[in-house]
Amino acid sequence: MICDGGKMTEIYFVRHAEPNYMNHNDELRELTAKGLADRKLVTDFLSDKNIDVVLSSPYKRSIDTVKEFADKYGHQVVTVSDFRERKIDSVWIDDFTAFSQRQWNDFDYKLTDGETLREVQTRNIDALKRVLDQYRNKHIVVGSHGTALSTIINYYDASFGYSSFKNIKKLMPWIAKFTFDGDYLQRIEMFDVFAGQV
């Protein structure tokens, strides 16, 4: 139940636009021409949300997805290292689908030099809790990633698993809004920014 007159913290997690998968450097992977164009959908969606703060994973594709909005409305993009994407391994893997499904089935599974989904979830939730402490009752944007964001949703809603992740896998950009009363999550709303687009 929302308290009468109570202020809320609203956090819009923005999954990055389409990246260039030919670039295997996870930190420096840039957006494609389509991804750069699709940033306008994010900017338009956020334009009337009274955003106070713009945060992002330190990875280029996430920063660049929210930077157009930040620049237009006079915000700095502040990077938060713990919002970065899950590390798969030190080498590129070709069968991402099988790997991803195995990780969702076993939150403690990882490759030799990678992270488990539990580790990704823990550091992303820790970062989210710090944001809730620092920016209470503000409207916040966080540039994020598909897997990282999915583990945050899963933390609050265990029914969000591999099949849910598969449903959003190709949605780039994609937005999930979290509304908090203090530290208590009121609701999660998910937005397909392409809805209604030709």
pLDDT tens digits along 78-110: 999 999 999 998 877 788 889 999 999 999 999
186 CB burial (10 A radius; 0-12, 13-18, 19+): middle
Best CA proximity match to 164, nearest among 179, 173, 151: 151
Q: Which domains does the chain have, with CATH numbers?
A: 9-191 (3.40.50.1240)
Best CA proximity match to 173, nearest among 11, 14, 10: 14
- Report which residue type is found at 42: V
Please check whether residue 118 is in contact with residue 33, taking contact to mean a CB–CB distance below 8 angstroms.
Answer: no
For residues 23, 112, 82, 68, the Cα torsion angle rounded to the nearest 10 degrees is: 10
Residue 174 has pLDDT above 50, yes or no: yes
Cα Rg of the chain, angstroms: 16
Q: Give the least confident one: 58-72, 88-102, 105-119, 139-153.
A: 88-102
Structure tokens at 52: 């106070």
- Report which residue type is found at 177: K
Residue 198 has pLDDT above 80, yes or no: no
What pLDDT is stored for residue 96 in this prediction?
A: 85
Write down the pTM of the prediction: 0.94
Sign of CA pseudo-dihedral 84, 14, 174, 40: negative
